Amino acid sequence: MKIAFFDAKDYDITSFTRCGEEGIRFKFYETKLDEDTVGLAKGFDGVCVFVNDRVNAAVVDRLYEYGVRIVALRCAGYNNVDLERCFGKIHVVHVPAYSPYAVAEHTMALLLTSVRRIHKAYNRTKDFNFSLNGLTGFDLHGKTVGVVGTGKIGRVFIDICRGFGMRVVAYDKYPSGEGNIEYVPLDALLRESDVISLHCPLTEETHHLIGREAFTKMKKGAILLNTSRGALIDAEALLDAIKQRIVGAACLDVYEEESDIFFRDFSGHIVEDDVLARLISMPNVIVTSHQAFLTEEALANIAETTVHNLTAFRDGDLPENELCYRCGKIEDCKKSRRQRCF
């Protein structure tokens, strides 16, 4: 089985090579998959993609024409794949969980960095400046954190916050009932929370979930954390909310328009995205470039599950991590009868 592996980074090559399976040959491409690069997939049985590869309708049609029959996402989110266009043509598999701890722990790392001004202190002491002026933080203990999306990552983050003595409220469109969580409507969460953390997927419904209207409902000085998907937040509205002192701090591991920027080195270049540049220039904004998943454990799990997904598909087994646009939405779906999605 020959797989064209797009957006390959050194750490991907290391982890996928380490977990090598004889029957699968990966060809690693540094470039992302999109309409311009899809030609590189010619002659392959499948493609392996990440969060910023674009598997839109045009790309799906070309992949199908080239004989590609599987798209293996090496991530959990799949908002960058046109699942409906894939249906009946190309099977799509993903890695539903590789380390919720990696993402939840990074979220807390960002929160602590922000509230205790660690990023400022680090730079100061590197310059032998030991002054404490401007570094006053606040205790997390006793504060209210509002968690949007209480799936795998959201629940781990809730446990971490409880360990800090925080009061947790949550909003989830499909609450599972696990974990003894106090659910409130989104508006109440926005009103009551000192810290708001986003852990729901990006869908049409959640696009700009935190936009101009949401910012008017937030507690003044609230801290906003997003380690989920950039477009959950309207970035321009966030910028205004920071300028109006509504948002006290923002910690972003993801950004709406990250696909042409994140994972690349732009030092020494002019970044064209004015909203991102302005956000980064704010003293109360911390940006990491979609690195919340990046731990040894997560990388090993990603490689292992992806290889498992591919071999299962090759061997005609049931690919349990298959996705389609009807999954979970129609009553009598084929998958629920323990078959492939199509």
Touching ligand NAI, residues 263-292 (CB under 6 A):
290, 292
- 148 phi, psi to nearest 5 deg: -100, 110
User: Cβ–Cβ contacts within 10 Å for residue 110, how many?
Assistant: 25
DSSP string, 126-162: HTT----TT------TT-EEEEE--SHHHHHHHHHHH
Nearest Cα to 287, choosing from 220, 221, 222, 238? 238
Cα 50 to Cα 94, 293, 315: the distances in Å are: 10, 12, 24
Single out the catalytic residue among 229, 256, 308, 322: 229
- Looking at residue 56, its amino acid is N
Number of residues counted as binding ligand NAI (CB under 6 A):
30
Token pair recorded at residue 124:
């100061």
Stretch that binds ligand NAI, among 52-60, 65-73, 116-124, 224-232 (CB under 6 A): 224-232
- Classified as helix, coil or strand, 98 is coil
Contact 77, 253 (CB under 8 A): no
Shortest Cβ 212–ligand NAI spacing (Å) = 18
Residue with tokens 């009061």: 167
Is 149 near ligand NAI (CB under 6 A)? yes
Q: Give the CB-nearest residue to ligand NAI.
A: 151
Decide whether 169 or 200 has the Cβ nearer to ligand NAI: 200
Structure tokens at 314: 């090759």
Q: Which is nearer to ligand NAI, 62 or 211 (CB)?
A: 211
- Do the beta carbons of residue 276 and residue 288 sit within 8 Å? no
Crossing angle of helices 100-115/118-126, nearest 10°? 70
Q: Binding of ligand NAI at residue 15 (CB under 6 A)?
A: no
Interface with ligand NAI (CB under 6 A), residue from 53, 194, 234, 253: 253
192 is catalytic: no
**Of the listed pieces 7-15, 152-160, 244-252, 307-315, which binds ligand NAI according to CB under 6 A?**
152-160
Site membership for ligand NAI, residue 18 (CB under 6 A): no
Pick out residues in 55-94 that bind ligand NAI (CB under 6 A).
76-77
| Smaller CB separation from ligand NAI, 46 or 100 | 100
Rule CB under 6 A: is residue 230 a binding residue for ligand NAI?
no
Q: Which stretch binds ligand NAI (CB under 6 A): 59-67, 125-133, 200-208, 276-284?
A: 200-208
Q: Is 30 a catalytic residue?
A: no
Residue among 92, 280, 111, 313 nearest 198 (CA):
111
**Does the annotation count 69 as an active-site position?**
no
Phi, psi of 110 (to 5 degrees): -65, -45
Q: Which CB, 128 or 174, lies closer to ligand NAI? A: 174
Catalytic residue among 54, 117, 258, 322: 258
Beta-bridged to residue 252, according to DSSP, are: 226, 287
Per the residue annotation, which of 91, 117, 199, 290 is the catalytic one?
290
Q: List residues near ligand NAI by CB under 6 A.
A: 76-77, 97, 100, 103, 148-154, 171-174, 199-202, 205-206, 227-229, 253-254, 290, 292-293
Q: Catalytic positions, please? A: 229, 258, 290
